[in-house]
Every structure is written in structure tokens, then in C-alpha cells.
Amino acid sequence: MTVKITPEQIAEQRRFMTLFQALPDRPRTYYIVTYGCQMNAHDSEKLAGMLDEMGMELSPAREEADFVLHNTCCIRDNAERKALGNVTWLKELKKERPGLMIGVCGCMVRESGMAEKLLRQYPFVDVAFGTSNIYRLPELLYKAAESRSRVVAVEQEQSTLIEGLPIRRESPYQAYVTIMYGCNNYCTYCIVPYVRGRERSRSAGDILRDIERLAQSGVQEIMLLGQNVNSYGKDLEGGLSFAQLLHEAGQTGIPRIRFMTSHPKDLTDELIDEIAQNPAVLRHFHLPAQSGSDRILKAMNRHYTVDQYLDRVARLRQAVPDIGITTDLIVGFPGETEEDFEATLRLADTVRYDSAFTFIYSPRVGTAAAKYPDQVPAEVSARRIDRLIKLQEKHTAIALNGMIGSEVSVLVTDRSKRDETMLTGKCGRNISVNFAGTPEDIGKVLNVKITSAGKTTLRGEKMEVSA
């Protein structure tokens, strides 16, 4: 059962904000380190918003902050080890600065046994809490700062919906809007349902009010977030479908809409038709395939075949010929044979993705696949992913070079990191475009003619606006 955090509970957290500000030796500055997906990035914006309202200031550097908070990911072993390694590094900093407070939150804290591990092996951590307890940050940090003792909170049920938290957005031009939390799919390799809980959709009214406020504040582009946005509304009696929500979002005045992530089994013709007809929805679709082998897809509990996946790709491209499709692909899943891997190469060759996130399978404790026999040796997985990456690099080059000479719409977000004389932003297909411009162009949506292609980015010229 989904439990919505009440306004009274949020008000109680605001009371702790006031109590925290009255502490004489409280932390004055903070720094948040974020790992993982866009959902985690948006959670960090909420955490920063609460810390701002607690009277703290964002530190320009982690080494200088009074409170360092690691918002963790555990989707793969490498992400978990990276987070714990960086937390351990803070132990030495705390020896130099005993007043430093350290926090760990997010998905990793929800893993089975992780809270106990933090208590046992990381005694220098002051605050730890899971994804469902994010709204309790003011209370938890106040108790830790006031008592100078450790505070751990992971007992909250995962099936919560939280509204009304303050947000410190990273950009004045782009914004995340969460439309749903959790996942019901239980892919055998994935720990998300165990650390994020089951699917629960926010009300369409709350979502659309958020989008309208963002549009009125000058935001040019939003990204709708969910572990599987295609499932939006299935848990709401009489609620909108995701296609219907996209349609309503397009009426709010927001110029550009993206979304992440879609599950192929739930990609309907209704949604494809809405994307084709809605001018606000950008021409990029992330459609994780994971494998090109029907046998492996079944073992992964993905609920579609390769032919069914290819049918959805064909339908997308028929309806939206200029759409850019990206994906996730896993190699080395337990039991994957050379024949299975060759099938994944054929899928990538057939679809010709703009880009792909490629991963070596990482066993996650608590998932079904972690117990499967025939785990693939690391050296075999490394060889396979190298071949897959080389193939995808070829198709990315073809896709980017195929855009030379075209005109694209770009939301200008910053100066280029490699060349400060250039500006950068992403076109509708979610590809970075660099071009010459002025600082006054930042935050605008401009038409750019593509003149050349790099390995993963495009270069272009700003089109002059005719009088």
C-alpha cells in the first residue's frame, strides 16, 4: 500500500530546520556527492533544498565543507565500491577536522545488511538513511549534530510518496520532474525494486502543477523521471496513462520535454503516436534492450523477445523518422554463451543506436541472478564488452556524421569545457552540440547548423534569426 507523507509530517521537519539553526556548533556549509541515475540527481536537489532552508550554504569544494553527504547508488558493484571508497577517504579528512560531519544516503543504504556494515566498519559516519527517509534529513542531521552521536534510519516503508520538499535546482533552464517511484518488474539482475520499492505514481495534478510552475519560472526543458515511465498511472484508479500525461504536459507551455526510462514491454502505440504528434516531446527515446538473445532475455525476466523489441523500434522510426534511439546492453549475464553474445552484436548492428550504455553484468546480493550457475569469467566478459563498444562506436560515428548539414534546435546550457570560446547544449536527439556564441545565448533555444562531428559530439554554427 502506498503511503503519502502528510503535510503535518513535512511541517515537523520544518520544525527541526528551525531547531538545527539554533545549534551553536552546527555545520554551516555542505557538499553533496551524487552517484547513479537521474533519479538520484533529483534526490540530491531535494537534499540541497532542505539544507539551504536549514541555514547552510553550499561549499565550493568537498574538502572545505562542514557536512559532506554521499547520495549513493548500488545498481552495480563498481558504483557501490566507488561510493564506499570515497566515504573512506573522508575518514582521513575527519582526523584533521574532528568537527566534520559525514552522511551516507540513497539506494546503497537500503541494501540488505548495508546499515549494519556502515555501523560496524564506518564508525566515522554520522548520519545514514535510505531513499524513503530523504524527507527526514532535517530531523536526522539535527539529532546527530545536537547529540554528537550516530543516527541511522532505514526502517521507513519504501512505498511512500512525498510532496512539498524544497528543491535547489542545478540549472535555471532544465529541471527534473519525478512522475513515479519504484519498479514492479523484478528483472533478475536488478536491485532497484528492493531499494526503491514497488511502483507508485504521483497524481497527474501534482505533476502538472510542478511543470506549470517551472514553465512560468523560465525553465526551457524538463525531464520526466521514473524507473519505468511507461507504467505511469497503472496504480492509480482512473488515472492518466503516460501518453495522456505527456499530452497534458505539452499543454503547460513548457517548450521541451524528455523522459527516462522506458521498458520495451510497456511501449504502446498510444505512446508512440503521442510522441509523434506532440511538438514539445524531443526526438530521443532511451529503450533498454539489455540483450539480443531471447534465451538471456527470458533468464533476465524482461518479458519481451528480440522480435517484439525490434517491432517497437520499427514502429518508433515509422512514426518519428528523425528519432534518435539509445539503449542499455549487458554482457556476461550468467549462462551467456558466445552465441548469445553474437545475438547482442546482431541486435546492435540491426538497430544502429545513436549511443549505448554498455555494462558487464554485476551480481547484486538479493537478486535472483546472483544465485544463477554458470557465472561468466571476468576475462570473457571483458573481451565481449570490448567488441560491443567497438561496434557501437562505429554506429555512433555513422549517426553523428549523418547529421552533418542538418539544422537542429539546441538548448544552450553552458560554455564548452574544452573550449571556453564555444557554447554547448543538447539537440533534440540528446547529443551535445558545440558552437560559437555569446554568454547572452546561454539559456536560450537556438537553431544550429551541424558542420562536423566528433567522437560523441557535434559541432555547428548558430543560425542567424531572420528579421
Q: In 10 A of CB 315, how many CB atoms?
A: 15
Does the structure show a pLDDT above 50 at 466? no
Radius of gyration for the chain, computed over Cα atoms and rounded to the nearest angstrom = 23
Please give the pLDDT value at position 3: 72
Does the structure show a pLDDT above 90 at 419? no
Rounded CA separation 316/322 (Å): 10
* Structural domains of the chain, ranges and CATH numbers in brackets: 3-160 (3.40.50.12160), 171-282 (3.30.750.210), 309-401 (3.30.750.200), 407-462 (2.40.50)
**Which residue do the cell numbers 517551472 mark?**
214
Q: In 10 A of CB 39, how many CB atoms?
A: 22
- Cα dihedral: 373, 377, 382, 383 (round 10): -100
Average pLDDT over residues 76-102: 87
Please report, rounded to a whole number, the percentage of residues in the chain having pLDDT higher than 70.
Answer: 98
Does the structure show a pLDDT above 70 at 155? no
Residue 434 phi/psi, 5-degree rounding, is -110, 140
Does the structure show a pLDDT above 90 at 108? no
Q: What is the pLDDT of residues 37-73, one digit of tens each?
A: 899 999 999 999 999 999 999 999 999 999 999 999 8
Strand segments (E) across 287-397: 324-331, 355-360
Please give the pLDDT value at position 160: 75
Highest mean pLDDT among 117-131, 317-331, 419-433: 317-331
Q: How confident is the model at residue 390 (pLDDT cuts 50, 70, 90)?
A: very high
Q: What is the mean pLDDT of the chain?
A: 93
Please give the pLDDT value at position 227: 93
Bridge partners of 174? 221
Please give the pLDDT value at position 2: 67
Rounded to whole angstroms, what are the CA distances from 232 to 192, 198, 200, 207, 260? 17, 12, 8, 12, 12
Please give the pLDDT value at position 1: 58
Average pLDDT over residues 270-288: 98
Rounded CA separation 351/348 (Å): 5
Please give the pLDDT value at position 431: 97
Please give the pLDDT value at position 163: 87
Q: What is the pLDDT of residues 343-389, one digit of tens each?
A: 999 999 999 999 999 999 999 988 999 999 999 999 999 999 999 99
pTM for the predicted model, two decimal places: 0.93
Please report, rounded to a whole number, the percentage of residues in the chain having pLDDT higher than 90.
Answer: 79
Q: What is the pLDDT of residues 225-244, one digit of tens each?
A: 999 999 999 999 888 999 99
Q: What is the pLDDT of residues 249-259, one digit of tens each?
A: 999 999 999 99
Please give the pLDDT value at position 467: 38
Does the structure show a pLDDT above 80 at 17? yes
Average pLDDT over residues 189-217: 94
First-to-last C-alpha distance (Å) of the chain: 58
